[in-house]
Amino acid sequence: MVFGAETRKEPIPAPVVDEKLAGHSETAVFAGGCFWGVQTVFQRVHGVTATTAGYSGGSAETANYGAVSSETTGHAEAVKVVFDPARVSYGTLLRIFFSVVHDPTQLNRQGPDVGTSYRSAIFYTTPEQQKIAAAYIAQLDGAKVFGRPIVTQLVPLKAFYDGEEYHQDYAEKNPGNPYIQVCDVPKIAGLKAQFPELFEEYKRK
């Protein structure tokens, strides 16, 4: 199932609660299935200045792909997103996360990928992010936007560990990979269709 591109042509409602625009750099961490797809979407969002694929939720000792793939580490494949809130708000990133990046109603899986490392999670970095994300989940659930309850975990970020170099920009380096073609290219198309004012072609920063 390619959630955003195939099932929705219009973006979900914008968050009622959002941060005030400011000029300082901010960091967000999201988990929504395989980090290749999460990264390739956020790389194309106006106002995002850097992205890193990696792991959150477990210990430093197990923050490697081999261990995480065992589904015993507590880690989720995650992406660190550095952004300029004067150009794109945290609430807008959440809107993209819920509508284009993944299906937030799938528990411990995304499409063909199954396991807790593929769970939906928001690792908030500030109390304000926690407040905005909690309010938005309640807003979407209350409006029954998805038809099923959102299962996204909302937890504080304890640590983010960079993933291996070969995972960075994977979709850009391997555009012909069948997995990328089936699972991730439609997400890019969904971003462009639903958020044309925020879409920009990716150039490695």
How many C-beta neighbours within 10 Å does residue 189 have? 16
**Residues 2, 186: Cα–Cα separation, whole Å:** 7
Its sign, for the CA torsion 161, 165, 166, 171, is: positive
Task: Note if 183 is an active site residue.
Answer: no
DSSP assignment of 117-179: GG-EEEEESSHHHHHHHHHHHHHHHHTTSSSS----EEEE----EEPPGGGTTHHHH-TT-HH
Q: Which of the following is catalytic: 12, 34, 45, 93?
A: 34
**Residues 201, 63: Cα–Cα separation, whole Å:** 30
Burial class of residue 183 (count of CB atoms within 10 Å of its CB; 0-12, 13-18, 19+)? buried
**Residues 193, 103: Cα–Cα separation, whole Å:** 17
Catalytic residue ranges: 34
